[in-house]
Amino acid sequence: AQTVTQSQPEMSVQEAETVTLSCTYDTSESDYYLFWYKQPPSRQMILVIRQEAYKQQNATENRFSVNFQKAAKSFSLKISDSQLGDAAMYFCAYGLGGSNYKLTFGKGTLLTVNP
């Protein structure tokens, strides 16, 4: 079974600084996707960024980028120019290709942004 591990239960960053959240996963599959979801206090799950395993290029979305190391099974999220609105719980998730109905989630990292 696939597993997703987020080793940092909590992180903090100063406003305007950069922070990196870690995620590792375990799979024997070659066709899969990786995601970072943000969950603010409102509880809504918001997709931050998505990476396809077969693409070597790291995904970016504005201030958010990933460092995808396929051989090491590592998928970290970098948030640049952190803003107060970035404060949230962040979940790393794994999805097997063709299995659109299931994501395997890590336990989450709570990010605090200090003014």
Binding site for another protein (CB under 8 A): 4, 9, 33, 35, 37, 42-45, 47, 50, 52, 91, 93, 95, 97, 99-103, 105-108
CB of 12 to another protein, least distance (A): 19
**CB nearer to another protein: pick between 20 and 105:** 105
Which SS3 state, helix, strand or coil, does residue 89 take?
strand
**CB nearer to another protein: pick between 3 and 18:** 3
CB environment 63-96: b (16+ within 10 A), e (fewer): ebbbebeeeebebbbbbeebeeebbbbbbbbbbb
CB of 21 to another protein, least distance (A): 14
Residue 39 identity (one-letter amino acid): Q
CB of 53 to another protein, least distance (A): 11
**CB nearer to another protein: pick between 53 and 79:** 53
User: Count of CB atoms within 10 A of residue 112's CB?
Assistant: 13
User: Count of CB atoms within 10 A of residue 57's CB?
Assistant: 8
> How many Cα atoms occupy the beta-carbon half-sphere of 58 within 13 Å?
14
CB of 103 to another protein, least distance (A): 6
**CB nearer to another protein: pick between 6 and 82:** 6
